[in-house]
Amino acid sequence: MNRRSFLGLTGASVASLAAAKDASAADRQNRPNFILVFADDLGYGDLSCYGHPTIRTPNLDRMAQEGMRLTSFYAAASVCSPSRAGLLTGRYPVRCGQPGNLGPGSTGGLPLSEVILPAALKPLGYRTMAIGKWHLGHTPDYVPTARGFDSFYGLPYSNDMIPPWVKTDRPLHLYRDTESIESPVQQETLTERYTEEAVKFIRRSRGSRFFLYLPHSMPHLPVSTSRRFRGRSRAGLYGDVIETLDWSMGRILATLKQEHLDRRTMVIFTSDNGPWLNLPARMLQQGNERWHAGSKGLLRGHKGNTYEGGLRVPGIVRWPGRIPPGQISEDIAATMDLYTTIVQAAGADLPADRTLDGKDLMPFLAGKAPSPRQEFYYFRGSNLEAVREGKWKLRLSRSMRDDLEKDDPLTPELFDLDFDPAEQYNLADREPDLVARLENKLREFAAELSAKVVEPR
């Protein structure tokens, strides 16, 4: 090869590298932003677009009209910490080592081997922030800024984890990153302050890609809102709290439009579990009332159990230009699917060394395919109690793993959720073959989890 040819190839290689670099920069610029809003104990029937007759949620209603409203959307668990674990890992909580709640006295948290959403996005240059209730560990190795978030503003766990509602000597603190900035916490203005922090983060991040995780403290008891919002709702204090959350959503969506980020941002609104209707006596003091919990709508059950009211929650997804407006879907989807959907939409790599339970929802959300999720498993703590496959749900009231070692039969409950979402009519005696098949599905999944519950260690 002569020198001229060599120089020509070298020049072409340099040009190719430069073009690749430009393409890479353009690709980074075109990656979407993500805003994931996670209410606390918000029930399936708490929004006007999900049927509440007196709570007004015009901003969330409009968000639903501009995207997709899901009517069979499930949290990963029916209580706080495991639900958050499933959301941020894309794995059933029992699989990722967080089947139960954490509290002020906890010393650990979500296992450090888990690759949560912000950590998966960081290699692509995403700015990340968590604002609100964390509840996945409050000791130094487990706080948000140790798990992939650039910054944090919020509470380490639930807003009731202080006297008189919980026996603890640890005061509740509001944190900025790892520094306490307020104690006692002024809960009346939490939703407003979270919202303003979110607006500031969006504006600071408009020149780069970002992931904002906003797990609200409300409407977990004790419910609270500022004077600005009190008395607005015909549904009393609880309604005021929900309408404050709706105001927050409107403020965030308006900021995206103002910053010309609307069409580059996927926004998701959902809840960690159903309403806390079975209030323990410890919560019914200092102004808390039974009606300060939310509505399950037409569903059966509540927070803490595996009937539909415990895990089926509102799910609204909006992304102008990518998700067609006006969609309502009865297909099954779950918060674990948001992990896989967000990571894949960002162009990031999914962890390859563990089982992921989340499915990529983008073709479904785009109106191009049915939901990839055909089944969902219901856990109460570590106990596997039910499975839904299509329209059919089989529920058993005791751990299948325990049952493997027992001879006494279980009485199954079989529901057709298409015509009976309230789970009023047990059809088990009419469909014995279906019951047997779904029982076997539960046994197989329980056996898989028993063999390898947390992976990798």
pLDDT in tens, the chain (457 residues): 444 333 333 444 444 434 434 435 445 557 999 999 999 999 999 999 999 999 999 999 999 999 999 999 999 999 999 999 999 999 999 999 999 999 999 999 999 999 999 999 999 999 999 999 999 999 999 999 999 999 999 999 999 999 999 999 999 999 999 999 999 999 999 999 999 999 999 999 999 999 999 999 999 999 999 999 999 999 999 999 999 999 999 999 999 999 999 999 999 999 999 999 999 999 999 999 999 999 999 999 999 999 999 999 999 999 999 999 999 999 999 999 999 999 999 999 999 999 999 999 999 999 999 999 999 999 999 999 999 999 999 999 754 444 444 555 678 999 999 999 999 999 999 999 999 999 999 999 999 988 654 443 3
DSSP one-letter code for 389? E
**Of 415, 402, 395, which Cα lies nearest the Cα of 450?**
402
From 350, 370, 390, give the residue that closes a domain. 370
Q: Is residue 144 part of a domain?
A: yes
From 322, 341, 370, give the residue that closes a domain. 370
Q: Is residue 195 part of a domain?
A: yes
Instruction: Note whether 95 and 158 are same-domain residues.
Output: yes
Question: Rounded to whole angstroms, how far apart are CA atoms 290 and 275?
Answer: 11
- Spot the catalytic one: 80, 96, 216, 302: 80
Q: Which amino acid is at 246?
A: D
| 3 class by beta-carbon count within 10 Å (0-12 exposed, 13-18 middle, 19+ buried) | exposed
| 398 class by beta-carbon count within 10 Å (0-12 exposed, 13-18 middle, 19+ buried) | middle
User: What share of residues in the chain are helix, strand, coil (percent, to 5)?
Assistant: 35, 20, 50
Neighbours of 433 (CB within 10 A): 7
| 96 counts as catalytic | no
Q: Is residue 375 part of a domain?
A: no
Give me the half-sphere count of Cα atoms (radius 13 Å) on the Cβ side of residue 129.
Answer: 27
**Of 208, 273, 221, 235, which Cα lies nearest the Cα of 34?**
208
Question: Rounded to whole angstroms, how far apart are CA atoms 392 and 394?
Answer: 7
Contact 190, 196 (CB under 8 A): no
Question: From the CA atom positions of the chain, what is the Rg in Å?
Answer: 23
- What are the CA-CA distances from residue 320 to residues 32, 85, 204, 208, 411 (Å)? 11, 28, 22, 19, 47
| 135 counts as catalytic | yes
Instruction: Note whether 85 and 146 are same-domain residues.
Output: yes
- Which residues have CB under 8 Å from 450's CB, separation 6+? 401
- What are the CA-CA distances from residue 289 to residues 56, 158, 365 (Å)? 21, 18, 39
Q: Is residue 399 part of a domain?
A: yes
Question: Rounded to whole angstroms, how far apart are CA atoms 383 and 196?
Answer: 40
Q: What region, left, alpha or beta, does residue 394 occupy, with left being phi > 0 and alpha being psi -120 to 50 degrees? A: beta
Instruction: Note whether 164 and 261 are same-domain residues.
Output: yes
Q: What region, left, alpha or beta, does residue 270 occupy, with left being phi > 0 and alpha being psi -120 to 50 degrees? A: beta
**Of 283, 308, 294, which Cα lies nearest the Cα of 421?**
308
Instruction: Note whether 324 and 433 are same-domain residues.
Output: no
How many helical (H) and strand (E) elements, i.e. helices and strands, does the chain have? Answer: 11, 14
Instruction: Note whether 391 and 263 are same-domain residues.
Output: no
From 370, 396, 428, give the residue that closes a domain. 370
Strand ranges inside 366-412, DSSP E: 375-380, 383-389, 392-395
Instruction: Note whether 269 and 409 are same-domain residues.
Output: no
Question: Rounded to whole angstroms, how far apart are CA atoms 407 and 374?
Answer: 31
Instruction: Note whether 162 and 292 are same-domain residues.
Output: yes
Q: Which amino acid is at 311?
A: L
Q: Which amino acid is at 177?
A: D
- At 158, which CATH number? 3.40.720.10
Question: Rounded to whole angstroms, how far apart are CA atoms 76 and 297?
Answer: 19
Contact 295, 274 (CB under 8 A): no
Q: Is residue 230 part of a domain?
A: yes
Question: Rounded to whole angstroms, how far apart are CA atoms 300 and 417?
Answer: 11
Helix axes 58-65, 236-258, angle to 10 degrees: 50
Task: Give how many domains the chain has, as a whole number.
Answer: 2
SS3 418: coil
Q: Is residue 327 part of a domain?
A: yes
Instruction: Note whether 386 and 241 are same-domain residues.
Output: no
- At 393, which CATH number? 3.30.1120.10
Instruction: Note whether 304 and 433 are same-domain residues.
Output: no
Instruction: Note whether 269 and 412 are same-domain residues.
Output: no
| 281 class by beta-carbon count within 10 Å (0-12 exposed, 13-18 middle, 19+ buried) | exposed
DSSP one-letter code for 390? T
Question: Rounded to whole angstroms, how far apart are CA atoms 198 and 149?
Answer: 14
The encoded tokens of residue 138 equal 């409050």
The encoded tokens of residue 314 equal 């509102």
**Of 206, 201, 211, which Cα lies nearest the Cα of 339?**
211
Q: Is residue 25 part of a domain?
A: no
**Of 131, 103, 118, 121, which Cα lies nearest the Cα of 346?**
121
Instruction: Note whether 390 and 364 are same-domain residues.
Output: no
Angle at 55 between CA 295 and CA 308, to 5 degrees: 20
- Spot the catalytic one: 49, 52, 96, 135: 135
Sign of the four-CA dihedral 301, 305, 308, 314: positive
pLDDT for position 338: 98
Instruction: Note whether 202 and 324 are same-domain residues.
Output: yes
Domain ranges, residue 441? 382-451
Q: Is residue 456 part of a domain?
A: no
DSSP one-letter code for 37? E
Residue 184 phi/psi, 5° resolution? -70, 155
β-bridge pairing 68-74 and 127-133:
unpaired
